[in-house]
Amino acid sequence: MGFPAKVEWLRNEDVIDPSQDTNFLITIDHNLIIKQARLLDTANYTCMAKNIVAKRRSTTAAVIVYVNGGWSTWSEWSPCNNRCGRGWQKRTRTCTNPAPLNGGSFCDGQPFQKITCTTLCPVDGAWTEWSKWSACSTECTHWRSRECAAPAPRNGGKDCSGGLLDSKNCTDGLCLQNKRVLSEPKSHLLEATGDVALYAGLVVAIFVFIVILMAVGVVVYRRRCRDFDTDITDSSAALTGGFHPVNFKTSRHDNSQLLHPSMQPDLTASAGLYRGPMYALQDSSDKIPMTNSPLLDPLPNLKIKVYNSSTASSSPGLHDGTDLLGGVPTTGTYPGDTAREGHFGNGRSKALGSQHLLGLPREHGYSASGTFGYLGGRLTVPGTGVSLLVPHGAIPQGKFYEMYLVLNKAESALLPSEGTQTVLSPAVTCGPTGLLLCRPVVLTIPHCADVSSSDWIYQLKTQSHQGNWEEVVTLDEETLNTPCYCQLEAKSCHILLDQLGTYVFVGESYSRSAIKRLQLAIFAPTVCTSLEYSLKVYCLEDTPDALKEVLELERTLGGYLLEEPKPLPFKDSYHNLRLSIHDIPHALWRSKLLAKYQEIPFYHIWSGSQRALHCTFTLERYSQASTELTCKICVRQVEGEGQIFQLHITLGEHSSSFDTLRSHHSGATPTTQVGPYAFKIPLSIRQKICNSLDAPSSRGNDWRLLAQKLSMDRYLNYFATKASPTGVLLDLWEAEHQDDGDLNTLASALEEMGKSEMLVVMATEGDC
């Protein structure tokens, strides 16, 4: 006879009682049913059968209740980020309602939303004109009034300062306190009248004397300035391969060095150098507008090159080739003739306003300058990826501008961090500001954004004279009033500008998945005489100027680049950059680092406002005889991408091929090119392409299709507002292809458009 068994279910070894927890049901055949899965039902379940003879347990079953994430409610909209004008505001939500648990899925969708907003700009109040004076009152005064209504203050603007009413005596002081007019004897009135006539005569005499003195000064000034007149060569003649003298002045008996009508001009004469102020002999319409920008630091000992046709040699103590920015040649460049002086495009040097030239910024290796005229040219800062293209016709006919290009390294020029924005490029100044330009110039600056990621909001900002940074444009939000156009490439941004100034390219991640391109560079000491040996790992933005700056810094500190820098994608994820060293031969070396790794905070890297970020690994060898070091350095973003450097170093022997090669390459690019040699497309071909494509075509086979073929059609309305849309597109193409200069891409675009006649022109005239 058998004994009946009692069956029980255990949850984490506790007996389940369905009468206590109604979510559980035990059927008649002893199956356990969980009516509704709850988070607290996650446990280990066991079935146990027992009687007075024995006890038996089933295999434990683990039940895991997972929870899918759910969004919280949206937060309130943030204030508009722009206090005046157009901006954006956003709201956020979190995946915490509920948060995903036990492997549950994350919330689907974006954690925040952005919308555009417009904030009414504050308007300060201003006074109206004064009213007419009132009638003279019994108190011998009359009144006038005004109102704060031109305009009235609104949107939080300031109120007018000053008084609403104004009063004064209306009887010229002849009123008595008892409000009666005093009758003066006639003799007194006649005496007062005589005094007024005397004073009026003195004022007229002084005014006439000043006018005569000014007239004499102008005559003397013009006579003195005549001796500084320089002869002019028509630089446009260089388009046909030669230089032709025009408008040479006759010689004067008081100056034997001026050209004689019967003498041929000596165009091979050396360029004279002149130190000090320059005087313009043209009329006032030729003067170039200048500005005294607070961003420009004084430049002492300025040397200005003046080109002329005389045979006078350079001034004593000055050397040919000395430029405006410390050692950078400003002459034009010619194929096969690097020693030739830049008469082309520089044949005429105008007075540029010495007060502005003395304020040119200066930093060796990070600036370039040159003189440009109607034929245009190009400025390049070697080794930085920064250049300025001045198209043909951008400068008015007959004018010459002294222009410069500077990378700002001063702390005052750094863009302050705003929220989650990050600086993507160096701050670059092209100037002088206020120049009259007939067509846009093209500023090229490198950037470190990974453009393959679609999570960027790009902005171009400019620095005002007061030092404040202001938004110029947000890409893809252009309007007809947008003053520039940005062509974004993989590693650089080409900006069409109508106004020169200081600009920087910034970005913001709107879904926390944008990526910045970084580069990692490891430096070691050139000479090591002690037992300690330090390895520096620099985390730099992947732009040429950032690496150039560190190479020059380490060269002064006695360091050298161990191997070619490696790229590192850095994600906007709030995770730090972690650096660690491994596989040190502990028998010969030891690490002095107390922790297992070092970290660079996320925000220090993401802000883009801190230069030359690095970590140092200090090692110590046990003996001077140890001259070999092998190790591995790992650099990675926490929960992100990483790089590994496998190092094998012989102390005292280093190959400087990396930084030497870079230094040589950075100095190989000419800083200034003038005239047609600065452009890849010959002028004659360019004009024929413009004539063919500028006119609108009903089939769309015009400049709009060319923009599409060249991937420049992001905002066509910008080009449509220009006199020659095709010309502006070709200027942009010139900036994009300044390094390769390959006309095949342009020829392919024209061929796809069916412009076969243009291909014939390019083939026949391409060598001109």
What is the pLDDT, as a whole number, of residue 295?
37
Q: How confident is the model at residue 41 (pLDDT cuts 50, 70, 90)?
A: confident
Q: Is the pLDDT of residue 78 over 70?
A: yes
Looking at residue 304, its pLDDT comes to 34
CA distance 548 to 641: 25
Task: Report the pLDDT value the prediction gives residue 313, as an integer from 0 to 100.
Answer: 34
Q: 225 with 281: CB under 8 angstroms?
A: yes
Kindly report the number of other CB atoms within 10 A of residue 554's CB atom: 22
**Neighbouring C-alpha atoms within 13 Å toward the C-beta of 660:** 4
Query: Regarding beta strands 165-169 and 141-145, do their DSSP bridges make them parallel or antiparallel, or are they unpaired?
Result: antiparallel
Q: Where residue 101 falls among pLDDT bands split at 50, 70, 90?
A: confident
What residue type is 220 in one-letter code?
V
Looking at 411-420, 433-442, 567-576, 734-743, which range is the least confident one? 411-420
Say what percent of the chain tops pLDDT 70: 73
pLDDT for position 82: 78
Average pLDDT of span 159-174:
83
Q: Is the confidence at residue 184, as pLDDT, over 80?
A: no
Rounded Cα gap, residues 270 and 342, in angstroms: 10
CB–CB of 716/696 below 8 Å? no
Give residue 250's pLDDT band: very low, low, confident or very high (50, 70, 90). Answer: very low
Chain centroid to CA 378: 18
pLDDT computed for residue 334 by the predictor: 36
Do residues 525 and 497 touch, judged by C-beta distance below 8 A? no
For the four alpha carbons of 733, 734, 736 and 737, in that order, the dihedral sign comes to positive
Angle between helical axes of 544-557 and 657-666 (0-180°, round to 10): 120
Task: Name the H helices within 339-407.
Answer: 354-357
CA-derived radius of gyration, the chain? 39
CB 539 within 8 A of CB 520: yes
What does the alpha-carbon distance between residue 620 and residue 637 come to, in Å, rounded to a whole number?
27
CA quadruple 584, 589, 592, 593: dihedral, nearest 10: 0
760: confidence class by pLDDT, cuts 50, 70, 90: low
Q: What is the pLDDT of residue 411?
A: 64
Give pLDDT, residue 322. 35
More confident residue, 308 or 378: 378
- Tokens in use for 743? 């006309």
- HSE (side-chain half, CA atoms, 13 Å) at 174: 12
> In whole angstroms, what is the distance from residue 458 CA to residue 488 CA?
10
Residue 286: is it exposed, middle or buried by C-beta count within 10 angstroms (0-12/13-18/19+)? middle
Q: Is 388 exposed, middle or buried (0-12, 13-18, 19+ CB in 10 A)?
A: buried
Position 262 scores a pLDDT of 38
More confident position, 485 or 53: 485
3-state class (DSSP) for residue 199: helix
Specify the amino acid at residue 689.
I
Residues ≥6 apart with Cβ < 8 Å to 25: 18, 32, 33, 35
Looking at the predicted structure, is the pLDDT value of residue 347 above 70? no
Lowest mean pLDDT segment, chosen from 188-197, 414-423, 533-542, 571-580: 188-197
Distance CA(594)–CA(22), nearest Å, equals 57
DSSP one-letter code for 64? -
pLDDT band at 654 (very low <50, low <70, confident <90, very high): low
What letter does residue 364 receive in the DSSP assignment? T
Question: For 7-35, what is each residue's pLDDT tens digit?
Answer: 889 988 888 888 888 888 888 888 889 98
Contacts of 576 (CB under 8 A, 6+ apart): 599, 600, 601, 602, 637, 638
Q: What pLDDT does 361 receive?
A: 46
H/E stretch holding 334 reads none
Beta strands in 30-104 (DSSP E): 32-34, 43-50, 55-57, 61-63, 85-92
More confident residue, 546 or 100: 546
- Beta-bridged to residue 617, according to DSSP, are 535
H-run or E-run covering 691 = helix 683-693
User: Angle formed by the axes of helices 725-736 and 683-693, to 10°?
Assistant: 130
Mean pLDDT of 128-139: 85
Tell me which range, 97-111, 425-439, 747-761, is most confidently predicted by mean pLDDT: 425-439
For residue 186, give both structure tokens: 């006639």
Mean pLDDT of the chain: 76
Amino acid at 436: L
Contact assessment for residue 334 and residue 234, using Cβ atoms and an 8 Å cutoff:
no
In this predicted structure, the answer to whether residue 396 has a pLDDT above a threshold of 80 is yes
Determine the pLDDT at residue 261.
39
Candidate from 117-121, 248-252, 469-473 with smallest mean pLDDT: 248-252
Q: Name the residue with higher pLDDT: 626 or 193.
A: 626
Identify the pLDDT of residue 178.
47
**What pLDDT is recorded for position 225?**
61
Furthest C-alpha separation in the chain? 158
Q: Tell me the HSE value of 681 on the side-chain side, using a 13 A CA sphere.
A: 30
Amino acid at 318: L
Residue 718 has pLDDT above 70, yes or no: yes
For 457-489, give the DSSP string.
Answer: EEEEEEE-TTS-EEEEEETT---TT--EEEEE-
Bridge partners for 369 per DSSP: 404
- Domains defined for the chain, CATH in brackets: 6-63 (2.60.40.10), 515-666 (2.60.40.2660), 680-765 (1.10.533.10)
pLDDT (average), residues 295-299: 39
Query: Alpha-carbon distance 286 to 401, whole Å?
Result: 11
User: How confident is the model at residue 446, as a pLDDT?
Assistant: 96
Q: Which residue has the tokens 């920008």?
A: 293
For residue 568, pLDDT beyond 90: yes
Contact 367, 361 (CB under 8 A): yes
Of 455, 600, 563, nearest in space to 516 by CA: 455
Average pLDDT over residues 401-417: 78
Contact at 8 Å (CB) between 321 and 468?
Answer: no
* pLDDT tens string 478-499: 888 889 999 999 999 999 999 9
Answer whether residue 149 shows pLDDT above 70: yes
What is the percent of the chain with per-residue pLDDT over 90, rounded to a whole number?
29
Cβ count within 10 A of residue 356:
20
**Local structure of residue 242 (DSSP, 8 states):** S
What's the rounded Cα separation, in Å, for the pair 39 and 23? Answer: 12
Average pLDDT over residues 520-528: 92
Residue type present at position 130: W
Predicted local confidence at residue 473, as pLDDT: 93
Contact of 602 with 575, CB cutoff 8 Å: yes
Report DSSP state, residue 555.
Answer: H
Judge whether residue 276 has pLDDT over 80: no
- pLDDT at residue 122, rounded to an integer: 83
Q: In the prediction, which pLDDT does 762 show?
A: 62
Alpha-carbon span 15 to 10, nearest angstrom: 4
pTM of full prediction above 0.75: no
What's the pLDDT score for residue 321? Answer: 37
